[in-house]
Amino acid sequence: MHAKTNSEVTSMTASSPPRSPPRGRPVYYVQSPSRDSHDGEKTNGSVHSTPVISPMGSPPHSHSSVGRHSRESSTSRFSGFLKTGSGKILPNDAGRGSHRKGHKPWKEPFDAIEEEGLLDEDGTKKGLPRRCYLLAFVLGFIFLFSLFSLILWGASKPQKPIVTMKSITFDHFSVSAGSDASGVATEMASMNSTVKFTFRNTATFFGVHVTSTPLDLTYYQLTVGTGTMNYFYQSRKSQRTVAVVVSGNQIPLYGGGASLSSSGGNLTTPVSLKLDFKVRSRAYVLGQLVKPKFYRNIDCSIIFDPKKLQVPLPLKNCTYN
């Protein structure tokens, strides 16, 4: 028997006229093509004949061989499609980076991400952009600098300066009759004194700049003398004695002078006075960023004795706030 191709065998099987089955147990032959063909290629293989006994008297032109051939053909086409998808480069993949080593079709959805610069050429994720590192550095520096400034501010607050009142010395204190600027007749007071106190800077790592409000010496809420302290700078862990002149000239007392006893303009009885002022100090620990401020309000009660002129009177009854 000559070798026949798959198509010839299929056509012969399909075009053969139906035959009446023989009586008894008929025997017919089925010619099956060789299975050496792949992807629709023709092969000159031999055709095998296999005797088949039909148990039910089936005709020899059964469609089993045709169905098998159809299944084999579809299987060959499907295997060829898989081979093309896994091992071959499709035409549509020519412009999508098919030159890359190990490129596979499943990486195609990441092409849009690669165009945005989020992935490297090998498909791995890039690191953070350089501007992100710069921003993180700036924010970290600001945070650390702020923390350092806060620590310095907290460390400087407990190191408050100490003000201690020492004494007041009256050079003279006189009350005489007179008139104010509007011509109203009243008693006029004149006095001159010197107030001394010590200022101590207890800070261990900064100096302070010191000023104060005017020193007011009052008699029943009437100011009879005032003085101004000069500005000074006090270095760390040091102290000084400050002297301030408090004086008043022709201060009208109006009705307040009625209780004052004087002889020849000089007082003859003790007088209760009050001294008050505020000491202000400021430190520049870290330039203009960290500059703690310290305030001390001082109130002192004074009993002036006319017999103790030119004698320093200790200031013991003082309050510090």
pLDDT in tens, 11-21: 444 444 555 55
More confident residue, 170 or 122: 170
Comparing 188 with 103, which gets the higher pLDDT?
188
From residue 78, give the alpha-carbon distance in Å to each of 35, 37, 71, 72, 81.
16, 14, 10, 10, 5
Q: Note the Cα 143 to chain centre separation in Å.
A: 7
Report the Cα–Cα distance between both ends of the chain, in Å, rounded: 129
Does position 83 have pLDDT exceeding 70, yes or no? no
User: What share of the chain has pLDDT > 70, as a percent?
Assistant: 60
Q: Residue 212: its pLDDT value, please?
A: 96
Give residue-wise pLDDT tens across range 271-300. 999 999 999 999 998 877 888 999 999 999
pLDDT reported for residue 29: 54
For residues 184-212, give the mean pLDDT: 93
CB-count exposure of residue 277 (10 Å: 0-12, 13-18, 19+): buried
- At residue 310, the 3 state secondary structure works out as coil
